[in-house]
């Protein structure tokens, strides 16, 4: 694997007002089995405000409606929390193809005890991720510019996440090598998750991945794979 690219200066972010969550946000969190304090929810709203404010400049997301952003970005990401409930403090989590920071930044806000690395191949997106993490005071976040198939990220990770990056057959070779023995892959997928799993059967065997379960969420499905 190649070494990570040198750090580039962060982006200058505008002043923003944190987006208020939808009226039913607490109820929808409870349906996921998740509870957050007001400070964390405010940070999530500030993250969304930064994401939408910078979107035209950096092309970070196709979702521009604030309420839809809470659903498609925040709740999508927080649906992973029950799958990380047994991951201890100071565990290492990698978000591959982080783009605008989902699910990595919401996870880092909700669980500041985790060490979260955001990986993306686009320099401008990584510059946004670094700037957003700094603005939000997330000292547990590192953002790296590089391609998953070639970058060196050092020690293996307890969990690796990915959303809207590729089909499972292509995604496993980009994620499994980063996971430690008995680590897990948490892949946010859509309605075709089952079909993608069937198509990826040979790849799962090659990378010693076991399908531990597929969990329905309000916005899609989470495929959980165990490595080793």
Question: pTM of the entire structure?
Answer: 0.94
Instruction: Encode the chain (228 residues) as per-residue pLDDT tens digits.
Output: 444 555 665 688 999 999 999 999 999 999 999 999 999 999 999 999 999 999 988 989 999 999 999 999 999 999 999 999 999 999 999 999 999 999 999 999 999 999 999 999 999 999 999 999 999 999 999 999 999 999 999 999 999 999 988 999 999 999 999 999 999 999 999 999 999 999 999 999 999 999 999 999 888 999 999 999
Domain of residue 83, CATH code? 3.40.50.150
DSSP letter assigned to residue 198: H
Spatial contact of 151 and 1, defined as CB atoms under 8 Å apart: yes
Q: Does residue 10 form part of some domain?
A: no
pLDDT, tens only, 114-141 = 999 999 999 999 999 999 999 999 999 9
177: burial class by Cβ within 10 Å (0-12, 13-18, 19+)? middle
Q: What is the dihedral of CA 227, 159, 163, 212, to 10 degrees?
A: 40
The total of structural domains in the chain comes to: 1
**Whose structure tokens read 């996870």?**
107
Helices and strands: H and E segment counts in the chain: 9, 7
Q: Does residue 7 form part of some domain?
A: no
Residues near 145 by Cβ (< 8 Å), separated by ≥ 6?
4, 5, 8, 120, 121, 122, 123, 126
Q: Does residue 76 form part of some domain?
A: yes
Q: Does residue 14 form part of some domain?
A: no
Q: Does residue 167 form part of some domain?
A: yes
Give Cα 216 to chain centroid, integer Å.
Answer: 17
pLDDT at 9: 59
pLDDT at 1: 45
pLDDT, tens only, 58-76 = 989 999 999 999 999 999 9
Q: Does residue 1 form part of some domain?
A: no
Spatial contact of 219 and 75, defined as CB atoms under 8 Å apart: yes
Q: Does residue 15 form part of some domain?
A: no
Q: Does residue 8 form part of some domain?
A: no
pLDDT at 186: 98
Q: Could you tell me the residue range of the domain that residue 203 belongs to?
A: 25-227
């Amino acid at each position: 694997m190649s070494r990570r690219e040198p750090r580039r200066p962060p982006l200058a972010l505008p002043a923003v007002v944190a987006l208020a969550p939808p009226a039913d946000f607490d109820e929808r969190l409870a349906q996921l089995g998740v509870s957050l304090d007001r400070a964390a929810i405010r940070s999530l709203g500030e993250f969304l405000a930064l994401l939408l404010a910078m979107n035209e400049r950096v092309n970070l997301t196709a979702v521009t409606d604030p309420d839809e952003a809470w659903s498609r970005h925040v709740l999508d990401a927080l649906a992973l929390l029950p799958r990380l409930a047994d991951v201890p403090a100071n565990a290492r989590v990698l978000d591959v193809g982080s783009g605008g920071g989902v699910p990595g930044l919401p996870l880092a806000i909700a669980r500041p005890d985790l060490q979260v690395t955001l990986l993306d191949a686009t320099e401008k997106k990584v510059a946004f991720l670094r700037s957003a993490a700094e603005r939000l005071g997330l000292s547990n976040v590192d953002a790296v510019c590089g391609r998953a198939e070639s970058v060196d990220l050092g020690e293996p990770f307890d969990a690796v996440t990915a959303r809207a990056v590729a089909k499972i057959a292509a995604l496993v070779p980009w994620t499994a090598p980063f996971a430690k023995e008995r680590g897990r892959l948490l892949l946010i997928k859509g309605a075709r998750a089952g079909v993608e799993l069937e198509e990826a059967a040979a790849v799962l065997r090659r990378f010693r991945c076991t399908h531990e379960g597929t969990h329905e969420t309000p916005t899609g499905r989470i495929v959980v794979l165990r490595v080793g």
